[in-house]
Amino acid sequence: MNKAIYTGALGACLLIGAAASAQNPIIRDQFTADPTARVFEGKVYLYPSHDIISPVEPERKWFCMADYHIFSSEDLMNWTDHGVLISQENVPWGKPDGYSMWAPDCVEKNGKYYFYFPNAPKSGRGFAVGVAVADKPYGPFKPEAEPIKGVMGIDPCVLNASDGTSYIYWSGMGLRGAKLKDNMLELDGESVRLDEPLPAGFKEGPFIFEREGRFYLTYPWVQDRTETLAYAMSDNPLGPYEYKGLIMDQSQSSCWTNHHSLVEYKGEWYLFYHHNDYSPQFDKNRSARIDKVRFNEDGTIQTVTPTLRGVGISPASSLIQLDRYSFMSGGGTFVDFLDTQKPFDGWFVNLPRPQTWVEYEDIDFGNKAPKKIRIRYRSEAGAAMGFSAEENKDFATVKFPSAKTWTEITAPMDLELTGICNVHAAVNSGDIQIDWITFE
């Protein structure tokens, strides 16, 4: 992996307001798949699926979802869980024990919030798509008595086009799209098939948005082993769409799905997607992530590299998880769970020998330089490390006594750090595992 070029100079880093610890995955106490993000009332609302370990058929090993939670954030780092939006027992037309509450979407129209979700119907097979309506983006949502007529399939996505017309798209024997009536609850005419002109390999999870007068269809697309994220563009919401390329390549690990959404917030575009970070052995228990996405001048989309670091700026006083690194050396470094039986407890980074290092970008030291660094570590033989925010200038050098269990150590800061800096942590001697660092 490349070593970073330092952008944060000592004492001269950019000053901005404090924020909470930033990393991927973004929700760290439960599984969250299929993350649809929308901006409502100045915040980002996240409407994901809620993967659980099946309580009824643990041996079944498949997608299992009994309800939806809503989350919101103003900084993309601190997420408020607004609790359960709908659960399978409350859907009048759904199987109360279907465990099939797959990828949803939510849009606002004329002051009402419409939540679209697939679910197993009480009678028949497959999936129908229902709507639940609320006055606020966080509910309470009231499900309609019947699913939308004419929509059989999964992964609804709704587009409110700038001319005031709304469209619904879903995956059901290919990609289908249709106009919605103004009531947002019924199709306005027949649906059309949209994936046929695209290269073969459309799977599911379409996300459609409008930007600068053009329509983007982004979708999971399998060329090889697992889902990539591809996109196509059109001048018309119902196509034809022209294939343009990949937004994200297939994952390095085994997560077969990659459901996503794109959203513009405070002048930046973000890609929300998922991976199986907390469940590396079972890819139906997934976790939402965010990375920045950029557009070229001509409107095409730049490829996004998935990161552990994610987006946002971590305050120096938060527990900065170096295992969610921006860059890391080779030489036997790796990241693993603190406790494999309790994945939500998080990870540590292993730095096994001199010259191994890890770097975490964008830590906000504010305008009052901290006096101490505190580190949670363990080390067989003991270690010595240098911490720098500018190459070759350590702001702290720390001697770590041998510690076989997790131990905290505090060391003085030898330089004054303010503003936003990247922190580089390098081993000078010995071996070490680090859970987090923080500044006091």
Which positions touch ligand FUB (CB under 6 A)?
Answer: 33-34, 49, 63, 102-103, 154-155, 204-205, 257, 259
The nearest distance, CB 347 to ligand FUB, in angstroms, is: 24
The nearest distance, CB 341 to ligand FUB, in angstroms, is: 25
The nearest distance, CB 256 to ligand FUB, in angstroms, is: 8
Residue 179 Cα distances to 38, 104, 128, 134, 379, angstroms: 20, 18, 17, 21, 61
Residue type, 378: R
Q: What is the DSSP string of 43-71?
A: EEEEEEE-----SS-TTT-S--B-EEEEE
* Euclidean distance between CA atoms 257 and 415, whole angstroms: 46
Active site residue 34: yes
DSSP strands (E only) in 303-402: 314-315, 327-328, 334-337, 347-351, 357-364, 372-379, 383-390, 393-400
Residue type, 142: K
* Euclidean distance between CA atoms 240 and 233, whole angstroms: 8
Asked if residues 220 and 157 have their Cβ atoms less than 8 Å apart, the reply is no
Q: Please, which residue, 98 or 382, has the CB nearer to ligand FUB?
A: 98
Q: Please, which residue, 203 or 309, has the CB nearer to ligand FUB?
A: 203
* Euclidean distance between CA atoms 276 and 139, whole angstroms: 28
The nearest distance, CB 63 to ligand FUB, in angstroms, is: 5
Active site residue 361: no
Q: Please, which residue, 63 or 202, has the CB nearer to ligand FUB?
A: 63
Q: Please, which residue, 226 or 318, has the CB nearer to ligand FUB?
A: 226
* Euclidean distance between CA atoms 264 and 134, whole angstroms: 23
Q: Please, which residue, 8 or 118, has the CB nearer to ligand FUB?
A: 118
Asked if residues 50 and 67 have their Cβ atoms less than 8 Å apart, the reply is yes
The nearest distance, CB 434 to ligand FUB, in angstroms, is: 33
Asked if residues 20 and 363 have their Cβ atoms less than 8 Å apart, the reply is no
Q: Which of 34, 105, 227, 435 is catalytic?
A: 34
Give, rounded to a whole angstrom, the gap between the first and last alpha carbons of the chain: 31
Q: Please, which residue, 64 or 328, has the CB nearer to ligand FUB?
A: 64
* Euclidean distance between CA atoms 71 and 228, whole angstroms: 26
The nearest distance, CB 15 to ligand FUB, in angstroms, is: 40
Question: How far from the centroid of its chain's Cα atoms is residue 209's Cα?
Answer: 18
Q: Which of 51, 108, 204, 361 is catalytic?
A: 204
Residues recognised as catalytic = 34, 204
